[in-house]
């Protein structure tokens, strides 16, 4: 395997371009950095198109990937981390455009117009932790394949199915939803600490505007997360984590 020492190598330039959304959209590829994250991809049945290895780092191989050995300087040019990793994987994006029929015990998360990739990645990681069936991106979401989002998932991007739909698509899915559709509202009459009828679809609003009224109207139950301090609201990733753990509380005890 030859050592690549130039950041102007055509393949290196292609991989580096994936830090930009337009190139991720054009190629359908995304970056995942770090040995643990790449190992998780393998556990979940993903195969990279490229494996980039830092010279002097631990060996790695994949029968389906083109493996490239690079210098420390080239690896640093590919990574946005302060300490560049030993390995970067380049993968094909997987995202569906229609909600599947839920299984009886499913918990799904619907996110309205998410703007912050760090929050999105954290929610995907939490959804993985509680065994959610998937995450639905509703409307104009930030890119789940951005380096910021992928990094925040800590590998969960490979384990949690992603769906992207317009508001109309969510309305169609809600029309035949067999369980509860839950929304959080600051003035809702019911506390979030309660039991939930499965399958559950949890709808969470955007960081700035909250849940779109059309989506809020789909809820069969609205709950509030009480606050006694002076904060106006909770971070959406924190609120989603509280809700998901409450929905799954009896099974996680």
Task: State yes or no: pLDDT of 34 exceeds 80.
Answer: yes
**Maximum average pLDDT range among 92-96, 206-210, 248-252:** 92-96
Mean pLDDT estimate for the chain:
94
| 171-186 pLDDT tens trace | 999 999 999 999 998 8
Average pLDDT over residues 20-31: 98
Average pLDDT over residues 91-114: 96
Of 218, 236, 216, 234, nearest in space to 226 by CA: 234
Q: What is the predicted pLDDT for the residue at 62?
A: 75
| 69-101 pLDDT tens trace | 999 999 999 998 889 999 999 999 999 999 999
Q: What is the predicted pLDDT for the residue at 1?
A: 64
User: Please, what are the domains in the chain?
Assistant: 3-92 (3.30.1330.30), 107-252 (3.40.1280.10)
Task: State yes or no: pLDDT of 225 exceeds 80.
Answer: yes
Q: What is the predicted pLDDT for the residue at 186?
A: 86
| 47-63 pLDDT tens trace | 999 999 999 887 777 77
């Amino acid at each position: 395997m030859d050592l690549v020492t130039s950041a102007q190598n055509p393949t290196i330039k292609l991989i580096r371009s994936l830090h930009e959304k337009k190139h991720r959209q054009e190629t359908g590829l995304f970056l995942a950095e770090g040995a643990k994250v790449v190992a998780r991809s393998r556990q979940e049945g993903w195969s990279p198109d490229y494996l980039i290895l830092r010279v002097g780092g631990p060996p790695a191989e994949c029968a389906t990937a083109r493996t490239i050995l690079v210098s420390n300087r080239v690896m640093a040019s590919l990574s946005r981390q302060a300490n560049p990793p030993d390995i970067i994987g380049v993968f094909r994006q997987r995202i569906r455009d229609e909600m599947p029929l839920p299984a009886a015990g499913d918990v799904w998360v619907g996110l309205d117009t998410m703007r912050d990739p760090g929050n999105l990645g954290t929610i995907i990681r939490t959804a993985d932790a509680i065994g959610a069936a998937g995450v639905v991106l509703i409307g104009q979401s930030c890119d789940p394949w951005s380096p910021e989002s992928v990094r925040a998932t800590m590998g969960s991007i490979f384990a949690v199915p992603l769906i992207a739909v317009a508001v109309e698509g969510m309305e169609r899915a809600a029309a035949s939803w067999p369980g509860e559709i839950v929304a959080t509202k600051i003035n809702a009459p019911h506390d979030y600490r309660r039991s939930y009828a499965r399958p559950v679809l949890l709808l969470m609003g955007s960081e700035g505007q909250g849940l779109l009224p059309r989506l809020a109207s789909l809820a069969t139950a609205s709950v509030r997360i009480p606050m006694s301090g002076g904060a106006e609201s909770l971070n959406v990733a924190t609120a989603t984590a509280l809700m998901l753990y409450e929905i799954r509380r009896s099974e996680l005890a």
